[in-house]
Amino acid sequence: MAEKFNIKNLEKKVRELLNMKKAPTSVAVLDLAGEELRLLYAAKRGSGMRISRYEEARLEVPPMAKDKELGEILGKKLKELKFHPGGVAFGVPRSEVMLRQMMIPFVENEGEAASMVHFQIARDLPFRSEDAVIDFSIQIAKEQPKALDSPEASEAEKKPEKQLQITVAVVPVMVVNRYREICKAAGLKLIALGFQSDGRAESLHYCGVVPKDFTETLMLLSVTEDTVILDVVKGENLVFSREASLKESAPNQKDKKQEEERIEQITTETVRCLHSYEQEDLQGQISKIYVMNMGAETAQVLDSLRARTQTAGIGVEEFNPAELLQLKNKENLDTLSLTSMVGLAAGILEKDHLSIDFLNPKKPTMPNTGKTRQAVLAVVVVLMLFGSFFIIRSHVLKTRTAELAVVQEEFNSLSKNQNLWRQNIIQALSLRAWQSGELHWLDHLAVLSTLLPESQELYVASFSTGARSNIVLSVRATRSDIIAKLDAQLREAGYRLKTPAITPVSGRSGYGFQTSMELLLSPGAKPDLETLGVAPERPQDDISLLNAQQRREMNQKAAQAAEAQSPQQQQQRRNPARAQQQAGRGGR
């Protein structure tokens, strides 16, 4: 018994696994035939489909219009009709498609089946296989008996070989590109490009003419003004299709004889198709013929076919999709286009994909050769290298970021002492300048310490050195003659002095005179420290060696003693220069 090839479920699982494309929830199917435009809009409704709009319009297309120009006209017309679809689909007519039936060995992989189909169909193409778009549908798996020469073959060798029955559809690449160019110019998104005959086969199931579990073979007869289209359906799939031309006749000037000749020609072409199909033994004998409604000729065609097929036991019935679909405007509809559009929409929405789709054809798998394995291995190695690079990069960045955080924290803590460090650097630079200048500043400081009088008479307010080899002393003294005496001593010690005037100052300390002395040093002159005398002993009231508490107590005692003095003594202590002047006047 023949087993069905479950390629559709396999394709659905592969699409779900790879998440290749999300199934659409609505679709608009368009049909362009010269200046005639037909559009159908359908949306999902549960597990089925609901047709919400069907409309026919006329386009003003200039002769020899290009695809881009036709697309722009189509886009303007859709805007006039207020029709804004998300995704659109077209159907390729039978006259542009090359259809073949073939048998291939049974395989469970769709890619392997596609490889066999491409290999075999390439011999029959009238053009290069690179210029063709090839798609196919798989019907059933048939068991063919093996041709064995030896009658003593084993039972396993005598077992029939399982094969796949395949319907192959081929169109030139330029046909697909033409629909793409039209959609691009019209601002539409093309999601599928099906086959009109396959759409008509699908519409039989959608309209309920053929039940889901129907396994017999039937034929659908469609007639236009100048052609007869015969589509053979087995179960749910199109297995054969043929298009024949009729003699030209004026539609409005037919007499009875011409009508009879036309009916006879339609019947003859149908019987020819029956004989040629059954002789090839493709899918068994045809059990029923459905004649698509064609107006007044329908009844005559039905009677003529019944008379010719009565002996063969083939039933003939009418198929009127306009009544089965329950459309509002049933009159003057192009039933041929309507049927194919309904089938294409049903295939996209109910089955998530078309069995024959020239926009998304089934692709062959790569041959399992050594070069293929090497290429795959090279890709894997490159991916591993990139992965390793990014892992190492991430690790290094994380490590360096942690180190940067530690350094930044340390920098923030150390930046608080920036002013202190700047001062230390300046002092260090000054010391280096002292040392590099060889001016012996410390030796001069030692000499000056021995020459200066006791602190009860004079003290140094500031001591500084300059870049011009000089020392600047700011001193304060209790009397002006002490400063004059110090000036003479410094000159005797060999220093050159610039002494400004002595200035009287006021203050509580009793040091009422001040001046600034600038000592000019000779380059390279080093004082002789051995001639210096012994430093004087510290006075009894020297508080430099006392701690803070002892200093505080001594200052308190000095303040109490000052308060106990007479006002005249306090005035003399506060302003000794003025007191000295008053004493001079009293002497006179």
CATH, residue 298: 3.30.420.60
Tokens of 151: 């009658």
Residue 170 contacts residue 132 (beta carbons within 8 Å) = yes
Distances (CA, A) of 494 to 232, 501, 519: 133, 21, 10
Residue 54 contacts residue 39 (beta carbons within 8 Å) = yes
Residue 524 within a domain: yes
Q: Tell me: do 73 and 180 sit in the same domain.
A: yes
**Mean pLDDT lowest among 128-132, 168-172, 211-215, 531-535:** 531-535
**Residue 561: is its pLDDT beyond 70?**
yes
Range of the domain at 130: 1-100+117-136+169-207+325-364
Residue 586 within a domain: no
Rg (CA), the chain: 57
Distance CA 155, CA 566 (A): 148
* Confidence band for 587, pLDDT divided at 50, 70 and 90: very low
Q: Tell me: do 2 and 53 sit in the same domain.
A: yes
Helix H segments across 310-334? 321-324
Distance CA 444, CA 532 (A): 11
Residue 467, C-beta contacts closer than 8 angstroms, at least 6 positions apart = none
Q: How high is the pLDDT of residue 182?
A: 92
Residue 138 contacts residue 4 (beta carbons within 8 Å) = no
Phi first, then psi, for residue 473 (nearest 5°) are -115, 130
Helix H segments across 362-461? 370-414, 418-437, 441-451
Give one DSSP letter per residue of 523-539, joined into a string.
TT----GGG--PPPPPP
For residue 44, the domain's CATH number is: 3.30.420.40
Number of domains in the chain: 4
**Residue 517: is its pLDDT beyond 80?**
yes
Residues 88-99, mean pLDDT to the nearest whole number:
91
Q: Tell me: do 91 and 47 sit in the same domain.
A: yes
Residue 240 contacts residue 276 (beta carbons within 8 Å) = no
Residues 532-546, mean pLDDT to the nearest whole number:
64
Q: Tell me: do 298 and 330 sit in the same domain.
A: no
Distance CA 515, CA 513 (A): 7
Looking at the DSSP assignment, which residues form a beta bridge with residue 55?
A: 39
Q: How high is the pLDDT of residue 274?
A: 83
Distances (CA, A) of 54 to 50, 97, 258: 11, 26, 34
Distances (CA, A) of 540 to 119, 371, 556: 122, 106, 17
Q: Tell me: do 12 and 88 sit in the same domain.
A: yes
| Secondary structure E strands in 155-270 | 161-172, 190-195, 217-223, 227-234, 237-245
- 319: buried, middle or exposed (CB in 10 Å: 19+, 13-18, 0-12)? buried
Q: Tell me: do 191 and 310 sit in the same domain.
A: no
Residue 390 within a domain: yes
Token pair 């029959």 is found at 124
**Domain end call among 324, 352, 386:** 324
Residue 44 within a domain: yes
Nearest to 355 by CA among 235, 220, 175, 227: 235
Residue 293 contacts residue 327 (beta carbons within 8 Å) = no
Residue 279 contacts residue 287 (beta carbons within 8 Å) = no
Edge-first strand order for the sheet with 286-292 is: 237-245, 227-234, 217-223, 286-292, 315-319
| pLDDT tens per residue across span 292-310 | 887 778 888 888 888 888 8
Residue 251 within a domain: yes
Residue 585 within a domain: no
Q: Tell me: do 255 and 279 sit in the same domain.
A: yes
Tokens of 68: 């881009």
Residue 131, C-beta contacts closer than 8 angstroms, at least 6 positions apart = 172, 173, 174
Distance CA 571, CA 457 (A): 19
The more confidently predicted of residues 16 and 435 is 435
Residue 560 within a domain: no
Distance CA 477, CA 483 (A): 7
Question: How many other CB atoms are found less than 10 A from the CB of residue 187?
Answer: 13
Between strands 161-172 and 98-105, the pairing is antiparallel
Average pLDDT over the chain reads 80
Phi first, then psi, for residue 574 (nearest 5°) are -75, -40
Tokens of 380: 């894997």
Residue 88 contacts residue 344 (beta carbons within 8 Å) = no
For residue 504, the domain's CATH number is: 3.30.1360.100
**Domain end call among 436, 451, 468:** 436
Q: Tell me: do 446 and 409 sit in the same domain.
A: no
Looking at the DSSP assignment, which residues form a beta bridge with residue 318?
A: 291
Identity (one letter) of the amino acid at 183? C
Distance CA 165, CA 116 (A): 12
pTM of the model: 0.58
Dihedral over Cα of 330, 335, 341, 344: its sign: positive
| pLDDT tens per residue across span 453-474 | 887 888 888 888 776 778 888 9
- 571: buried, middle or exposed (CB in 10 Å: 19+, 13-18, 0-12)? middle
How many residues in total does the chain contain?
588
Q: Tell me: do 447 and 520 sit in the same domain.
A: yes
**Mean pLDDT lowest among 164-178, 311-325, 346-360, 376-390:** 311-325
**Mean pLDDT lowest among 394-403, 405-414, 437-446:** 437-446
Identity (one letter) of the amino acid at 9? N
Q: Tell me: do 310 and 343 sit in the same domain.
A: no
Helix H segments across 511-587? 548-564, 567-574, 576-587
* Confidence band for 524, pLDDT divided at 50, 70 and 90: low
Distance CA 47, CA 102 (A): 33
Q: Tell me: do 285 and 358 sit in the same domain.
A: no
Residue 54 contacts residue 327 (beta carbons within 8 Å) = yes
* Confidence band for 120, pLDDT divided at 50, 70 and 90: confident
**Domain end call among 364, 395, 423:** 364
| pLDDT tens per residue across span 45-62 | 877 788 888 888 888 888
**What percent of the chain has a predicted confidence (pLDDT) above 90?**
14
- 71: buried, middle or exposed (CB in 10 Å: 19+, 13-18, 0-12)? buried
Residue 557 within a domain: no
Distance CA 212, CA 80 (A): 40
* Kind plus residue range of the DSSP H or E element containing 155: helix 155-158
Nearest to 437 by CA among 466, 400, 479, 403: 466
Distance CA 72, CA 85 (A): 16
Q: Tell me: do 9 and 95 sit in the same domain.
A: yes
